[in-house]
Amino acid sequence: MKKLIIRKLKLGGFLLMLGTVFISCEKNPITLVLHSPIYPSGSQAVTYTAERVTDGSITTAKLYETVNTINSSGTITSTGTETLLKTWNNPSGDLSFTKSGGHGENKLVNYRWAITTPEQTKTFRVTYATRPYPVTDMPAPVYAQGDPDDVFDLVFIPDTDITSLTTFYNHCRGMIRESFFDEPHTQFWRRQYNFYINTQRGHATDYDRRHIDGPHQLPSNNANLSFAEGRALLHQNNLRDWASGGVFSSEMQNRGTVMHEAGHGLYGLADEYGGGTHWEADDFPNNWSTLAGAQAAANDYGNCKDASDATEMGSSGWYHLCGSDCQMVTTGLTHTEYDCPCKSRITYVIFDNAAN
């Protein structure tokens, strides 16, 4: 059935249209639900927020919570009962509720927001673990929404150079809120991501010192992280970051680097600068091996692109349509946005991942 749906979507050609500028529109208010701290200890209070990032009225909002106990094998040994934490009627601004006293250790907490607007009811379900996480050699889910086989999974791995894990945890939350939930296209698809924090550390090396320091030292449970499409080795020291085989390094504050690398690891996007890695994907590429190919593809993006946007990336012999500010051109502290060809590719893989 799922395959039939995706085939129909492809046949109808409307995946092409998804890359247009209208894609990021959704009914107001757009709400982002998060919790803080993102990976609390068993005794820490947790604040749940529903942040209203666009105007729009909310009729009612309800926040529920279920607390489960998990053992070292990853099995739920005690399933909690869903409890209503708070109801809001015609609230203004952002919604917030603090659950004091903590949830205890070895817990997987699930919370559910039911937000009713004049047009619809939106439901958001999120699961997170408390510290310490007991499951042997597995990363702790800190913001899990969907079946890992249907959504994109990203594991944050702390580097041994990080002196404050609290700072690291805050940056992991920042990666979710200030990167994936901020860039317009990934914000639109925000329910299609799971985020994890690895319980074991790795150590990133500098790209220019690999002949001395060797490759990245991966955490001892690296094989167990293979289910994830992205593995981000986040560090404190300034390095020339690099990636190989699905693991990439980044300074823990660099939202732009993580979004660029997510472009490679999660969505299969190629680089959009001359010296990078280039290939033409079979479906919805963002690199073309010929100028004519890029020019012809320009028609697929409505008013967003035309043939004159097709240019060679440096002297690479590869062509692209995205502008110079596209996320696949840039890295660094702040993220930019994915341009239309990248958006189309992201939409395609999100569909394909959920459908297959």
Given 194, 286, 295, 344, the residue binding another protein (CB under 8 A) = 194
How far apart are CB 89 and another protein at their closest, in Å? Answer: 26
**Residue 154 near another protein by CB under 8 A:** no
Given 31, 133, 153, 156, the residue binding another protein (CB under 8 A) = 153
**Where would I find the beta strands (DSSP E) of 53-106?**
60-70, 76-78, 83-89, 95-99
337-356 residues near another protein, rule: CB under 8 A: 349-355
Of 40-48, 86-94, 135-143, 168-176: span binding another protein (CB under 8 A):
135-143
Q: Is the Cβ of residue 25 or residue 166 nearer to another protein in the bound state? A: 25
Q: Is the Cβ of residue 141 or residue 158 nearer to another protein in the bound state? A: 141
**Residue 62 near another protein by CB under 8 A:** no
Supply the angle between the helices 2-12 and 340-355 in degrees, to the nearest 10: 150
206-265 residues near another protein, rule: CB under 8 A: 207-208, 210, 214-215, 218, 222-224, 226-229, 240-246, 257, 260-261, 264-265
How far apart are CB 46 and another protein at their closest, in Å? Answer: 17
257-316 residues near another protein, rule: CB under 8 A: 257, 260-261, 264-268, 270-271, 273, 275-277, 279
How far apart are CB 26 and another protein at their closest, in Å? Answer: 6
The separation between the first and the last C-alpha atoms of the chain, rounded to the nearest angstrom, is: 10
CA distances to 60, 79, 85 from 121, rounded to whole Å, are 9, 26, 18
Grouping H, G, I as helix, E, B as strand and the rest as coil, residue 192 is: helix
**Residue 115 near another protein by CB under 8 A:** no
Q: Is the Cβ of residue 57 or residue 136 nearer to another protein in the bound state? A: 136
318-337 residues near another protein, rule: CB under 8 A: 331-332
**Is residue 135 within 8 Å of 69, Cβ to Cβ?**
no
**Residue 162 near another protein by CB under 8 A:** no
**Residue 164 near another protein by CB under 8 A:** no
Count of residues that interact with another protein, criterion CB under 8 A: 84
Q: Nearest to residue 108, comparing CAs of 35, 166, 179?
A: 35
What the block records as the tokens of 102 is 């903590």
Number of residues written out for the chain: 356
- Rounded-to-integer distance, Cα 154 and Cα 259, Å: 11
16-35 residues near another protein, rule: CB under 8 A: 17-18, 20, 22-23, 25-27
Q: Got the DSSP string for 211-258? A: HHH-S-B--TTGGGGTT-SEEEEEESS-----EETTEEEEETT-HHHH
Q: Which residues contact residue 126 at a Cβ distance below 8 angstroms, ignoring those fewer than 6 apart?
A: 33, 35, 110, 111, 112, 143, 144, 145
**Residue 156 near another protein by CB under 8 A:** no
| Residue 89: strand pairing partners | 60
**Residue 140 near another protein by CB under 8 A:** no
Q: Is the Cβ of residue 94 or residue 208 nearer to another protein in the bound state? A: 208
**Residue 87 near another protein by CB under 8 A:** no
